[in-house]
Amino acid sequence: MSLFRSSSAAAAGDLYALIRQKRHITRAEIGQLTGMSRTAISARVRELTVRGLVVERDQAASTGGRPATLLSFNADAGIVLTAAIGGSRARLAVCDLAGDVRAAADIDQEPGFGPEDLMPDVVKRLDMLLDESGHRDAHIFGVGVSLPGTVDARQGWSIDSPVLTGWDRVPLMPYFSELTDAPVVLGNDANAFALAEWRAGAGRGFDDVIVIKASTGLGAGIVAGGALQRGAMGAAGEFGHDKTPAANERPCRCGDVGCLETVAGGWSLVRVLGQEGRSVRHLRDVVELAHSGDALARRLIRDSGRHVGEVLAGAVNLLNPAALVVAGDVAGAYDIFVAGLRETLYRNATALATRTLQIVPSQLGERAGVVGTAMMVLDEVLAPQVIDAPAGPSSP
């Protein structure tokens, strides 16, 4: 059965998407999958190889006669730059066109940093990474930026981020203008985590996955029916501001009261430990304390898991995911956090919804944010309609 409506409907961009998905494929296999003629395939492949997007370099195993030439997705045709910005740290990377990290760096920031404070440093550090990774002369296909909270990708700014005070409706794209003229793609951080874990991590092989990002704030990326779900306003998965009786009308950074984050978010745990005389600045410090045997830090992380599990039980009933992936800084204390999460999740969700549910730690760890952000921008800049555009991307 053809993947396309007809041979004429399969343009170069369609073939590129297929080769990008398969990584390696023969012309004969393309013909079987698409229904295209060999002549049509050769013409489109020629266009892609001339542009450097596809290479012919390996040979498929022979089944008798001359071995077939493999068409390979050229991950080295260029790079994307990524910035996964959180409440206490920005993780930066240079990635190839497969989303694999070639070089990475971190910028730690104090709470309350505005874009005018952080973004020039982000651009400067990305510029340095080009040299450090040996990609100064590489073609930059795009820049990806992920932020906590809801973003307006069209305008290129945050529209609701309690984690990043002072960022809402501040245009971020102009900061990159002196570094590159490549398109800048903005997205939600939990969605980036979900893309990474679903395609290349702990959620691989499942069509229905919830990826929890538990760090300074709380959020979730939702994959349902094999597609990332962003919601009508791009606010899907913002469960950190669900109301919970455990919050007991506590004031939240979002301006409301009674939010889950006030008892389970990383910023809340840091605040409690600080009030008890511990020297902590962010959730990573709390995790380190817990591993050193600090009883209060361990209790707070387990209680955080309990509160999260209680709220997420409704999402598990509603969406019936096959897997629940725990990511973000709290994954550093996965066993402690999940012990609490399992306790309330299984108590409050239905037996059917949890019968085969797998709760697993992130496989990509600290790379999940930049890898997912790279995937986010690559889905945009390597989309079939972009490849087919008159000024579509090419490798110099």
> From first to last of its 396 residues, what are the pLDDT tens digits of the chain?
345 544 445 789 999 999 999 999 999 999 999 999 999 999 999 999 999 999 997 665 655 556 678 999 999 999 999 999 998 899 999 999 999 999 999 998 877 789 999 999 999 999 999 999 999 999 999 999 999 999 999 999 999 888 888 899 999 999 999 999 999 999 999 999 999 999 999 999 999 999 999 999 999 999 999 999 999 999 999 999 999 999 988 999 889 999 999 999 999 999 999 999 999 999 999 999 999 999 999 999 999 999 999 999 999 999 999 999 999 999 999 999 999 999 999 999 999 999 999 999 999 999 999 999 999 999 999 999 999 987 777 766
Per-residue pLDDT at 113: 84
C-beta neighbour count of 254 within 10 angstroms = 18
pLDDT given at position 351: 97
Instruction: Determine whether 311 is exposed, middle or buried from the number of CB atoms within 10 Å of its CB (0-12, 13-18, 19+).
Output: buried
Distance of CA 12 to the CA centre of its chain: 27
- 114/263 same-domain check: no
Q: Are strands 323-327 and 358-361 parallel, antiparallel or unpaired?
A: parallel
Whether residue 183 sits in one domain with residue 104: yes
Q: Does residue 197 lie in a domain region?
A: no
How far, in Å, are 106, 186, 328, 373 from residue 211 at the CA level?
Answer: 23, 19, 10, 15
DSSP state, residue 165: T
Q: Which of 22, 46, 73 is the last residue of a domain?
A: 73
On whether both 236 and 336 belong to a single domain, the answer is: yes
| Strand spans (E) along 74-207 | 79-85, 89-96, 101-108, 140-147, 150-152, 157-160, 184-188
How would you classify the pairing of strands 184-188 and 140-147?
parallel
The pair of three-digit structure tokens given for residue 216, joined into one six-digit string: 């300074």
In terms of domains, do 219 and 264 share one?
yes
Per-residue exposure over 263-293, b if at least 16 CB sit within 10 Å of its own CB, e if not? bbbbbbbbebbeeeeeebebbbbbbebbeee
Following CA atoms 239, 244, 250, 253 in sequence, which dihedral angle do they give, to the nearest 10 degrees? 10
The answer to the question of residue 87 being in a domain is yes
Q: Are residues 154 and 280 in the same domain?
A: no
Nearest partner of 326 among 236, 217, 211, judged by Cα:
211
Tokens at 187, concatenated: 């997205």
Q: Are residues 134 and 217 in the same domain?
A: no
DSSP strand E in 226-272: where?
227-229
Burial of 396 (0-12, 13-18, 19+ CB in 10 A): exposed
* pLDDT of 88: 84
User: CA–CA distance from 351 to each of 316, 333, 347, 370, 396 (Å)?
Assistant: 11, 27, 9, 36, 56
Residues in the chain: 396
What's the CATH code of the domain at 126?
A: 3.30.420.40
Can you give the C-alpha Rg of the chain in angstroms? 23
Q: Domain range holding 42? A: 7-73
Question: What is the model's pLDDT at position 286?
Answer: 97
SS3 260: coil
Here the contacts of 345-351 (C-beta below 8 Å, separation 24 or greater) are 345/309, 345/310, 345/312, 345/313, 345/316, 346/309, 347/313, 348/309, 348/310, 348/313, 348/314, 349/313, 349/314, 349/316, 349/317, 350/317
Classified as helix, coil or strand, 98 is: coil
Q: What is the CATH number of the domain that holds 15?
A: 1.10.10.10
263: tokens are: 């008892």
Q: What is the pTM of this model?
A: 0.91
Q: Considering the domain boundaries, does residue 97 fall inside one?
A: yes
Number of domains the chain is built from: 3
Query: Token digits for 35?
Result: 């229904």
Q: How far apart are CA 221 and CA 294, in angstroms?
A: 31
Q: Do 213 and 352 have their domain in common?
A: yes
Residues 217 and 355 placed together within one structural domain of the fold: yes
DSSP 8-state assignment for residue 257: B
pLDDT the model gives residue 1: 39
Say whether both 64 and 86 belong to one domain: no
Q: Which of 294, 291, 273, 292 is nearest to 282 (CA)?
A: 273
Q: Are residues 119 and 56 in the same domain?
A: no
